[in-house]
Amino acid sequence: MTTLLSSYIEQMRKQLGSDTDAFLASYDQPRTQGLRINPRKINENHPGVLPELQRLFTLEPIPWCPTGYYYEEESRPGRHPYHAAGVYYIQEPSAMSAVELLDPQPGEIVLDLAAAPGGKSTHIAGKLAGEGLLITNEIHPARAKILAENIERMGIPNAVVVSSNPPQLAARFPSFFDRIMVDAPCSGEGMFRKDPDAVGEWSPAHVEMCAARQLDILQDAVRMLKPGGRLAYSTCTFNEQENENTAAAILKLCPGLELERTERIWPHLHRGEGHFVAVFRLAEAAGEDAPKPSVRGRTQGRGKRGTVRPEEEAVRLYERWAAETWMPEGTGFQLTPGEPFLYGEQLYWLPQADCCPFDSSWLQGLKVLRPGLHLAEVKKNRVEPAHALALTLPPAAGVRLQVDLPSDGEEVQRYLRGEALQSVESGSGWTLVTVDGYPLGWGKLSGGMLKNHYPKGLRR
């Protein structure tokens, strides 16, 4: 039962008039629960375990998101091994409206400016289908780490995770992005049913502070939008000051910015906790010159003539490992367009998009958690495959050694706890561990035992 402040009720009465009672009655209803299936792992051509998910979690389609489903709270999909395999992402249903309205297309350059824990970013990445580039940013370092974990869990190859503030990014990426998502920090009125503690943080002064901060963030976002580009501004609050008024204020401040549409999801009218989305477009003639990085020069130094650059050596070791690990005829995994990027001992694959000159020099001076797909850790004369690489592999990736664990068995739970497993598989070496065919992580087989390489920080 949620107890609401009288000043909040008064505000909603002014805003909703005769709808107020229905709105207030929605607080006595149970909150809605949603998950979005990962189109990299389940799609029209490969429905995979979708029928099983429908059975396990009693899924019902969410009308405004083709990959979104309501689930029954007691079914706890967050605890199922398919969650660890990135088969789906748990997200409040009305929050799924924002990326549907932003409508990113494969091959585009997209920014998610306030991204943790990653609901909108993982949704955007699904729509990019591995083509183009997603820069996903979270200002708070601890939340950025969770964002990076979720990007990895969902097996996204073409995302760069950074932790910057919007002015810093705006200075680095002027007129750079085709689409930008600004899911702004807000007073969270749509969270009251889900999180009754959020009620205690609400006050008119907090609303005012949020509205001012939203306008600051939006101004930086517009500076990063290409002429002709689209920006979606969303909040999980009902507050007009933060929603319609902020949208009107940014239009006034930014010549060339046009409002295409606004949408609201209300808990008394729809099955969702509530969301506001405004979609803007920047006119073709507006904006600054074509993008150039503000910092020149590559981060990785080139070797002297005749010497091998460390990243070339790292790629050579990775390719040797890949040749040993994949079946010769295996075509299940291709790196997306990109370039190697060595960060200490960690080898990443930095994504590139056809239409933009993006390389590692753009990231200089930024706090980068994940410069693309983490491929491997480079050791002396060998590599160890990264967890992220396993999660990026499609089912049936053609890995030579694979241990497949049934999702309803005890062994998969033991693997997720970090325990070693006995295996009937013969052979030795790096082994892909899957659950009902979906990659979960790596292990190393030797003498009938599977040594566990599931990351320590993720173990249950």
Decide if residue 138 touches ligand SAM (CB under 6 A): yes
Q: How far apart are CA 80 and CA 361, in angstroms?
A: 40
Q: How far apart are CA 319 and CA 73, in angstroms?
A: 45
For residue 204, what are its two tokens? Answer: 């008119």
- Of 184 and 286, nearer to ligand SAM (C-beta) is 184
Q: Look at the block and give the residue holding tokens 């974990």.
A: 149
Decide if residue 140 touches ligand SAM (CB under 6 A): yes
Q: How far apart are CA 327 and CA 401, in angstroms?
A: 9
Smallest distance from the beta carbon of 192 to ligand SAM, in angstroms?
15
Decide if residue 114 touches ligand SAM (CB under 6 A): yes
DSSP classification of residue 153: H
DSSP classification of residue 32: P
Decide if residue 119 touches ligand SAM (CB under 6 A): yes
Decide if residue 115 touches ligand SAM (CB under 6 A): yes
Q: Is 65 a catalytic residue?
A: no
Q: How far apart are CA 55 and CA 384, in angstroms?
A: 37
Q: Which positions from 37 through 96 interact with ligand SAM, judged by CB under 6 A?
A: 95
The residue range among 111-119, 290-298, 321-329, 451-459 that interacts with ligand SAM, by the rule CB under 6 A, is 111-119
- Of 111 and 342, nearer to ligand SAM (C-beta) is 111
Smallest distance from the beta carbon of 208 to ligand SAM, in angstroms?
15
The residue range among 13-21, 116-124, 359-367, 369-377 that interacts with ligand SAM, by the rule CB under 6 A, is 116-124
Interface residue with ligand SAM among 35, 37, 49, 116 (CB under 6 A) is 116
Q: How far apart are CA 318 and CA 384, in angstroms?
A: 8
CA within 13 Å, CB half, 48: 21
CB 57 within 8 A of CB 82: no
Q: How far apart are CA 331 and CA 329, in angstroms?
A: 6
Decide if residue 185 touches ligand SAM (CB under 6 A): yes
- Of 226 and 275, nearer to ligand SAM (C-beta) is 275
Q: Look at the block and give the residue holding tokens 């019902």.
A: 60
Smallest distance from the beta carbon of 250 to ligand SAM, in angstroms?
15
Smallest distance from the beta carbon of 279 to ligand SAM, in angstroms?
16
The residue range among 109-117, 243-251, 324-332, 336-344 that interacts with ligand SAM, by the rule CB under 6 A, is 109-117
Q: How far apart are CA 402 and CA 390, in angstroms?
A: 11
Decide if residue 100 touches ligand SAM (CB under 6 A): no
Q: How far apart are CA 224 and CA 207, in angstroms?
A: 26
List the catalytic residue out of 236, 254, 355, 356. 236
Smallest distance from the beta carbon of 14 to ligand SAM, in angstroms?
25
Q: How far apart are CA 357 and CA 348, in angstroms?
A: 18
Smallest distance from the beta carbon of 119 to ligand SAM, in angstroms?
3
How many residues in the shown chain lie near ligand SAM by CB under 6 A? 18
CB 271 within 8 A of CB 70: yes
Closest to 217 (Cα-Cα) out of 294, 165, 141: 165
- Of 16 and 198, nearer to ligand SAM (C-beta) is 198
| Per-residue x/- track, 242-281, ligand SAM (CB under 6 A) | ----------------------------------------
Q: How far apart are CA 166 and CA 279, in angstroms?
A: 19
Q: How far apart are CA 153 and CA 51, in angstroms?
A: 21
Decide if residue 118 touches ligand SAM (CB under 6 A): yes
- Of 183 and 436, nearer to ligand SAM (C-beta) is 183
Phi, psi (degrees; rounded to nearest 5) at 398: 80, 30
Give DSSP secondary structure letters for 349-368. EEE-BTTB---GGGGTTS-E
Interface residue with ligand SAM among 68, 77, 117, 441 (CB under 6 A) is 117
Phi, psi (degrees; rounded to nearest 5) at 102: -65, -35
- Of 170 and 405, nearer to ligand SAM (C-beta) is 170
Closest to 261 (Cα-Cα) out of 102, 114, 106, 65: 102
Decide if residue 217 touches ligand SAM (CB under 6 A): yes
- Of 115 and 180, nearer to ligand SAM (C-beta) is 115
- Of 91 and 352, nearer to ligand SAM (C-beta) is 91
Interface residue with ligand SAM among 83, 143, 194, 367 (CB under 6 A) is 143
- Of 115 and 151, nearer to ligand SAM (C-beta) is 115
The residue range among 113-121, 154-162, 250-258, 288-296 that interacts with ligand SAM, by the rule CB under 6 A, is 113-121
How many other CB atoms sit within 10 Å of the CB of residue 427?
Answer: 10
| Strand ranges inside 285-398, DSSP E | 338-343, 346-351, 368-371, 373-379, 382-385
Q: How far apart are CA 435 and CA 323, in angstroms?
A: 24
Decide if residue 332 touches ligand SAM (CB under 6 A): no
Site residues, ligand SAM (CB under 6 A): 95, 114-120, 138-140, 143, 165-166, 183, 185, 213, 217
Active site (catalytic) residues: 236
